[in-house]
Structures are given as C-alpha cells and as structure tokens.
Amino acid sequence: MEPWEEEEGPEVVKRFMYVNRRAPYGTIYALECLEVVLIAAAFDQDVSVVFVDDGVYQLKKDQDTTGIGMKNFSKTYRALDDYDVEKIYVEKESLEKRGLAAADLIIPVEVVTAHNLREIMAQQDVVISS
Amino acid sequence: MKFGILVNEGPFTHQASDSAYRFAVAAIEKGHQVARVFFYNDGVYNSNRLSEPQSDDRNLVALWSELAKANGIDLVVCIAAALRRGIKEEVLQDGFRISGLGQLVEAGIENDRLVVFGD
C-alpha cells in the first residue's frame, strides 16, 4: 500500500455492547469491565456501553473512596470519549429508582428507557455483561 | 457453528465455570467448534494447576486442560486479571496461556457467537 492511500478498515465490524449492572465498589466487576472497554475501543469495532441497575452508580459524580481504601476510578470514565466510545446508554428506570438524573453523572450519556434499551440490545452481535 | 466462550468466575464459588465446561462439551458433541475460551475476573483461577479439589469432586482445572488438548481449544487467561490474583506462568496448568484482553475482543469478532458465563 502506498503511504498516501487510506489505510483499510477492519474486515469485520461487529456491534459490541458492554453491560454494567453492579455498583462500582463491593465487587471488582465494574473496574474490570472498564478495563475491557478501554482495550476494546482500540479494535475499530462498534462499541457501546450500558449502565443499568446499580451499575448507574458507577457514573455518579463526586465519588469518595477514602473511607474504604479503594482506588476511585470514576474519573477514568471520562477517558471513554478520548477512546471514541461515544455510545453510552443509561437506563432511565434505574436512574429514577435511585433518585438520580443525568446531571448527577460524571460524563454525558444518553438516557434510554428499558424498552428502548431492549431494542438496542437486540441489535448487538456481542453482549458482555458484568 | 464456531463458538467463543467467556468465563468470569472461579471454579468453586460459582457454577459458571461448570456450566461453561458443560456447554463446551455439548457443543463439540453436536459437531460445533469451540475455538477459544477466555478467562476473566476470578475466572482466571480456572488455570491454577496448584488447585487440589477433593478426590471425589470434579477438577475443572484438569477438565478444561483435557478438553482443550483433545479438541484444539485455545484457553486464554487475561494477564491483567491474572497478575492481580497471583496467577503467573509458574502456576499455569498445561493447555492454558496468558495473554491480553485483545484476545477476548478477537474471540467476539472471529466467532459466530461469544457465550458469556458469569455471576
């Protein structure tokens, strides 16, 4: 390939969805899922990230973990934008049940209803939930 | 059909690894291919050859290893998750290899289905 030619994209582009269902601390799932998403972003696939149930707490602003001695990794979610992960969905019902709104979250998200989320989920090739 | 499998739990506390193993065996029996099993979160403990379950119980570490050898399955343990939990080359069961998370994404891209077993 000549240097002035466009580099070819990947042969296969699949839709990957990462579903976060758990609170950020208490178990390691949230942190390790974020690590997967950041790696996955490098693969030129169609990546989306979902936060449902207690998973919505992962994006809560002003987290303070000093009392539990764990690393506060919430600011890392801000890097998703730098990695071109732009499809970030938060389930409306999960937010409301917990008295939260989009304004309480550390990054801009798309708030979707459970019904809409179900449709988006059905369009995916790979769904990895944790 | 070509399957990739993701195992997110260790071999004892949860049933996830048992279910994944049984799924793999059943798929192969039906003529499907299991190309890769990726071990993440506490799933990395499935590769620890120092595990010694009681002799009248199943030994998933050995079962995975045997299944992989007989069917050419690529058993991949996530390096970041493994290092956190003290899983290194020196304790790795035969048939497993340690590699990066990219191998999980690749399993999703290259196989017809990626089946996740977790909590």
- Within 8 A of B81 by CB-CB distance, chain A residues are 32
The C-alpha of B54 sits at a distance from chain A's nearest C-alpha, in angstroms, of 28
B1 burial level (CB within 10 Å; 0-12, 13-18, 19+):
exposed
Select from A28, A29, A39 the Cβ nearest to the Cβ of B105. A39
Average pLDDT, chain A: 93
Contact call for residues B35 and B4 (beta carbons, < 8 A): yes
Residue A48's nearest CA partner among A78, A86, A77, A82 is: A86
Alpha-carbon gap: A27 to the closest alpha carbon of chain B (Å): 10
CA dihedral sign, ordered A115, A116, A121, A122: positive
Q: What is the CATH number of domain A15-129?
A: 3.40.1260.10
pLDDT given for residue A11 in this prediction: 77
> pLDDT tens digits for A9-44?
677 899 999 999 999 999 999 999 999 999 998 999
For residue A47, CA distances in Å to A33, A80, A100, B74, B93 come to 13, 11, 25, 25, 33
Contact present, B42 and B85 (Cβ < 8 Å): yes
Write the ipTM.
Answer: 0.94
Instruction: Tell me how far apart the alpha carbons of residues A29 and A31 are, in angstroms, rounded to a whole number.
Output: 6
State the sign of the Cα–Cα–Cα–Cα dihedral B80, B84, B89, B91.
negative
pLDDT, one tens digit per residue, over A37-73 is 999 989 999 999 999 999 999 999 999 999 999 999 9
Domains of chain B, CATH where assigned = 2-117 (3.40.1260.10)
Residue B33 Cα to chain centre, angstroms: 15
Query: Chain B residues with CB inside 8 Å of A29's CB?
Result: 41, 119
pLDDT in tens, chain B (119 residues): 999 999 999 999 999 999 999 999 999 999 999 999 999 999 999 999 999 999 999 999 999 999 999 999 999 999 999 999 999 999 999 999 999 999 999 999 999 999 999 98
Q: What pLDDT does B48 receive?
A: 98
For chain A, give the percent of residues with pLDDT over 70.
93
Beta carbons of A59 and A106 less than 8 angstroms apart:
yes
Interatomic CA distance for residues B56 and A54, integer angstroms: 39
Residue ranges in chain A assigned as alpha helix (H): 29-40, 79-82, 92-97, 114-122
